Amino acid sequence: MNDIRIATAQFENRSNDKAYNLGVIRELSRQAAADGADAVAFHECSVTGYTFARNLSREQMLELSEIIPGGPSIKALQDIAAENNIAVLAGLFEKDADDNLFKAYVCVDKNGLVAKYRKLHPFINPHLQPGNEYVIFDLKGWKCSMLICYDNNITENVRATALLGAEIIFMPHVTMCTPSTRPGAGFVDPALWEKRREDPTSLRLEFDGMKGRSWLMKWLPARAYDNAVYAVFSNPIGMDDDQLKNGCSMIIDPFGDVIAECRKLDNEVVTATLTRNKLTEAGGHRYRLARRPDLYGEVIAAAHTPVQKVVWLQEKE
């Protein structure tokens, strides 16, 4: 019964500044390794920045994007992993040999690319194409998977990856603190971020309220609990282009309990030990064994119309 140490991080990325972002990833990876982590996870598009891409043309997206694994960012992540003897998970925009564009998330170790996943439900830029497969990969004998941001709001994705054997699901996001039809949602004033050292209370009230963490806690623990998996949530903090994000990167166990969380109003990385006993002791393990797919298999698999179009600014939370 091998335990594994996993870290999750939050940081304020810079738009279209890969060198800076990779430098922060390097430093936080060093801190995670010093705390005994076997792997460290960063947020969606942590290498490139995220929200600024809503305004980019196809040509600009192609310039920003990289071939995976041949691009320079994968090489940089491999160097970081080798320096610290740690697996690194991070996000960037990808282009393939035919110039198709994707939102990608990767796991890289000292030997190179371990796994790559393409977001199934991308919407920040109209030139992005959706991925079409789940990914299962191994870390120190643990079965892992990745689901990017909105992919986790579609509950079937989390259940499917769990049924495919995932024990740990990495869930990189850029989320919260944006408008929505959900009551209490909305932007957080960037001025509060600028004043965070002199007035942390006002910022924390916004970050932890219904614009931020309180909404997250309505659904994220349920993904882990219902499926008896560990959920590793990563999210940026600070300004992402013109939007303020609240971080609170966290690790949730199969009981739905938060076992590690970033709480600084700053860059931070936290680490937790994941144990196998929780995978079978948690209620979700029994629920999965009790499934009756003969009753609803065709219902869940049935096509639906019309296909809902998701606008980048209005996640249908």
pLDDT the model gives residue 304: 77
pLDDT the model gives residue 102: 98
pLDDT the model gives residue 303: 86
pLDDT tens for the chain, 317 residues long, are 699 999 999 999 999 999 999 999 999 999 999 999 999 999 999 999 999 999 999 999 999 999 999 999 999 999 999 999 999 999 999 999 999 999 999 999 999 999 999 999 998 999 999 999 999 999 999 999 999 999 999 999 999 999 999 999 999 999 999 999 999 999 999 999 999 999 999 999 999 999 999 999 999 999 999 999 999 999 999 999 999 999 999 999 999 999 999 999 999 999 999 999 999 999 999 999 999 999 999 999 888 775 555 544 444 44
All structural domains of the chain: 4-301 (3.60.110.10)
pLDDT the model gives residue 315: 45
d(CA 295, CA 273): 38
The set of residues, in sequence order, having a beta carbon less than 8 Å from that of 152 and lying 6+ positions away, is: 158, 171, 173, 220, 223
pLDDT the model gives residue 75: 98
d(CA 310, CA 291): 30
pLDDT the model gives residue 307: 58
pLDDT the model gives residue 278: 98
pLDDT the model gives residue 311: 47
pLDDT the model gives residue 314: 43
